[in-house]
Structures are given as structure tokens and as C-alpha cells.
Amino acid sequence: MTDRLIQAQAAVDRAILVAAKEQRRAEQAAALGTDEEYENGAIVAWERTFDNGITYNYVARKTGLVWYLSGRDVNPLSWGTLVERHLQYADAVWLVTEMVGLA
């Protein structure tokens, strides 16, 4: 009986962690606002750590009504899709407000 209780508690703990993670994602998505809040040419950068512990950095630029990402994904995304596929999972998101020339 004790093993079953331990397993049940572990399942409850996992469910709580999943619910907390989903709540955090929903709050983060809401905090990002809407597409209309970003000007044409806006640049958003973010950092995401995957389950395997590897962290990647990404950048997206708004061009017209769509967003283009750095990396392999060459297809433009709507703001909603960008948030759904990428930004809601980000560890941190930044709006690039100043660009400094290096050369």
C-alpha cells in the first residue's frame, strides 16, 4: 500500500508542476501583448532552454504583418504563431530598441 501512495503522490506532484508550467506560459503569452503593439521593423530576441539542457538564442523581425525568424525556419509567422511556437516557452524575451553599428 505504501508504494501505491508514493506513486500517487508522485503523479500529483507531476500534475502540479505541469499545471504551474502551463500557467506561467499563459501569463508570459499575455504579457507579450498583441502584434499591433510592435512597429514594422521591430526586433524581438529570446532565449530558450530545452529539456536536454541546451539553450538557444533566437531573433525575429517584424516585416509588414509577419515575423521572420533567425535559424532554419524560413517561413514567415504571424504574431500568434510566433508566441504559440516560440515565445511562450522562452526563458527571457527582449525587445531590441537600439542597434549599434560595428563597422
Provide the pLDDT for residue 29.
64
Across the range 14-34, mean pLDDT stands at 73
CA proximity to 45, closest of 97, 103, 101 = 97
* Position 103 in a domain: no
* Position 102 in a domain: no
Is pLDDT above 70 for 1?
no
Instruction: Note down the domain range covering 31.
Output: 2-96
Kindly report, residue by residue over 41-87, the tens digit of the pLDDT: 999 999 999 999 999 999 999 999 999 999 887 899 999 999 988 89
> Based on the structure, what is the number of domains in the chain?
1
Provide the pLDDT for residue 2.
85
The residue that leads in pLDDT, 27 or 57, is: 57
> From the centroid of its chain, how far is CA 13?
24
* Position 78 in a domain: yes
Dihedral (CA of 87, 92, 95, 100) sign: negative
24-63 as b/e, with b when 16 or more CB fall inside 10 Å? ebeebeeebeebeebeeebebbbebeeeeeeeeebebbbe
What are the residue ranges of helices labelled H in the chain?
2-31, 79-85
